[in-house]
Structure 1
């Protein structure tokens, strides 16, 4: 189950504190945010290197909260970094601002969506759920396999099985779709998410045709992607929103896929960094470089496997390596989950695993076709807040 750990100060809630909601601005750095809110910059500089780098992965769509008193004085700010961890800026009893990384607590539910087609799938899903994310994911799942401009009939079914996290009764973070079905030209087309996170048809053929290659030859992984982990020695939560490849300084870095350079410059935490936007909408990041290949600049096109720079140790780095990131929108995902893989199907144990997943989804599809469930309103949850090891449930804001 996901976690959305919203830590609010009990005295403020009891004596007139106000919670203000805001979205993280696209392109704003953590330091710029502190300056804009007139908060001390040591809030950033007192963080260790890993947490400083984490501030550079704040999604521009992040829904943040700020707790202020009746004089509009800031007592706490909560900034999600992913769907498991958030940054907490808080005022201590000694009237000093500090920052730490804390978990997010949320409710998680697996739902089955049944929608009879009225216009086009995207609009029908959006109208039924209010979720642009669900509508976009559905269209992308069937891209290249189904032409939604032809063969659709009013009343034909759309089914999606997905897991959604909720906070305060509203969807939180990206939904994880496990399977989907649509009827077109009298044929039911089905797509399944395998345990590797990719989508396949009923025979195990891979739907995703835009696949990536590793950004180095003969890479050595020194640190893997993780949204959240608790460090048993430091007694704190950490995240690593990318994959680190250990290598000697000057080792060539290769573009993981065809795309266009969207950024080539210096970042406080990531040092010399290149970002590439790919045709499937994902963005790859290559950090801590020693230098860029001559001629690399923002706006230029690059091919898959093309050399773009050299391994280095710039920014907040403890040694020469490549930090390789992958983003869907502004949200970090596991880069290894989109690496190139054979597409002719599964065999052995992996095939048995896929068949079990497929059959389970098919049972859910059949049940939805029989029952034609009407979507219920979002659940109405009351969040539990944790303050100094005590729990209480405030009134909804």
Structure 2
């Protein structure tokens, strides 16, 4: 945490400036942003292809910072791309603007939240933690299993075990929920997050009923999803916010699930691109297409498995392939974490791994129900609420 403050404060000490927070505008391109701030466009064009495409994944609600001196001259801009990496635009001693991708310094806590229901779980979680993200994830986990609008009594408790990152003293990015339980009329309903990132019940049955399928037949993954990795040869940080499937030009691309097309057009980085919004709140992206299927356009409804376009090499692409992305809101997630499994349930080694995760989580649930954590303040920047902070892991710079 201290390194990020030093990064921001150094220009202030030298130039007597200030830090101005701002949010990334919905729909604004990186080039448009540079033009609006009267910054040289070569900042963008000096990036390599992969980093240029990264600018198209800046979340529209990203909390950015701009450091300006007392003459209103921009000295530095920090723009998060995900919860691991950010773009840093900075003024060199030779008064030349440069850009690089650097890691985000954050602190990570694993927390157990115990909360008696007073109104509705979503409202109560937001009131206690201030996190709409945590409340949304919790409700989604139990969708179709528990009707929170009826059947429960005031005082019925819920327990959530989750990891939350904090940046500059505030919750940052989506929380990662490891498990949750709700007790309704004395009956407990539990959900567990397995190592594959999916949610299951105590018997290993998958909770999520809206499941996606791979968008290409006979898939061959050429590049996987990663929020951050350090390239040992290039000596810089890279990210790949999607999965690449290698295929011949013209190979049919299939809709990963039912939904409605929210965008079908061209972008400089992703070429011919299509986005489909699904009923569970996620949006899928299909990039570098040769062309879209005839008659399909923005606003069209599509079914799972329906042909929507064809593999191509448009945009900033080094060869024919499908770049497949998945987004929760405007934040990229690993598409493979929401794909339908080829087999249901667990067996062998995978079952033993799941049982170990389940038993460990059950122990945390029992502890929370037994101790009913006392009300105590959680840091000076956070609302007071029922919480037991278990681990603290500073993320290295």
| TM value normalised by structure 1 | 0.93
Equivalent residue of 2:8, what SS?
coil
Unaligned runs of 5+ in 1: 382-390, 392-397
Once residues 355 and 13 of structure 2 are traced to their aligned partners in structure 1, the CA distance between those partners, rounded to angstroms, is 51
Contact 1:289 1:312 in 2 (8 A): yes
Equivalent residue of 2:189, what SS?
strand
Q: 1:296 to 1:137 in 2, by over 3 A?
A: same
Equivalent residue of 1:8, what SS?
helix
Task: For residues 323-378 of structure 1, give each alpha carbon's deviation from its aligned partner in whole angstroms, at most 9, with x where no partner exists.
Answer: 11010110001111111115742111111111111111111111111111145444
Q: Does residue 154 of structure 1 match 2:154? A: yes
Name the counterpart of 2:42: 42
Name the counterpart of 1:90: 90
Q: Does residue 309 of structure 1 match 2:312? A: no
Once residues 379 and 272 of structure 1 are traced to their aligned partners in structure 2, the CA distance between those partners, rounded to angstroms, is 47
Q: 1:378 to 1:45 in 2, by over 3 A?
A: farther
1:61 Cα offset (Å): 1.2
Once residues 50 and 13 of structure 1 are traced to their aligned partners in structure 2, the CA distance between those partners, rounded to angstroms, is 35
Contact 2:183 2:189 in 1 (8 A): yes
Name the counterpart of 2:353: 353
Which residues of 2 match residues 327-366 of structure 1 at below 5 A? Answer: 327-342=327-342, 344-366=344-366
1:151 Cα offset (Å): 1.6
1:14 Cα offset (Å): 4.7
Task: For residues 167-197 of structure 1, give each alpha carbon's deviation from its aligned partner in whole angstroms, at most 9, with x where no partner exists.
Answer: 2221111100000011113211111101110
1:13 Cα offset (Å): 3.1
Equivalent residue of 2:325, what SS?
strand
Once residues 3 and 287 of structure 1 are traced to their aligned partners in structure 2, the CA distance between those partners, rounded to angstroms, is 39
Name the counterpart of 2:191: 191
Which residues of 2 match residues 1-397 of structure 1 at below 5 A? Answer: 7-8=7-8, 10-342=10-342, 344-374=344-374, 376-379=376-379
Count of equivalent residues: 381
Contact 2:11 2:75 in 1 (8 A): no
Once residues 326 and 335 of structure 2 are traced to their aligned partners in structure 1, the CA distance between those partners, rounded to angstroms, is 5
Q: 1:336 to 1:171 in 2, by over 3 A?
A: same
Name the counterpart of 1:394: none
Unaligned runs of 5+ in 2: 382-396
Once residues 11 and 204 of structure 1 are traced to their aligned partners in structure 2, the CA distance between those partners, rounded to angstroms, is 53
Contact 1:206 1:345 in 2 (8 A): yes
Task: For residues 41-65 of structure 1, give each alpha carbon's deviation from its aligned partner in whole angstroms, at most 9, with x where no partner exists.
Answer: 1111111111000000000111000
Contact 1:66 1:76 in 2 (8 A): yes
1:254 Cα offset (Å): 0.7
Once residues 317 and 344 of structure 2 are traced to their aligned partners in structure 1, the CA distance between those partners, rounded to angstroms, is 40
Contact 1:3 1:104 in 2 (8 A): no
| TM value normalised by structure 2 | 0.93
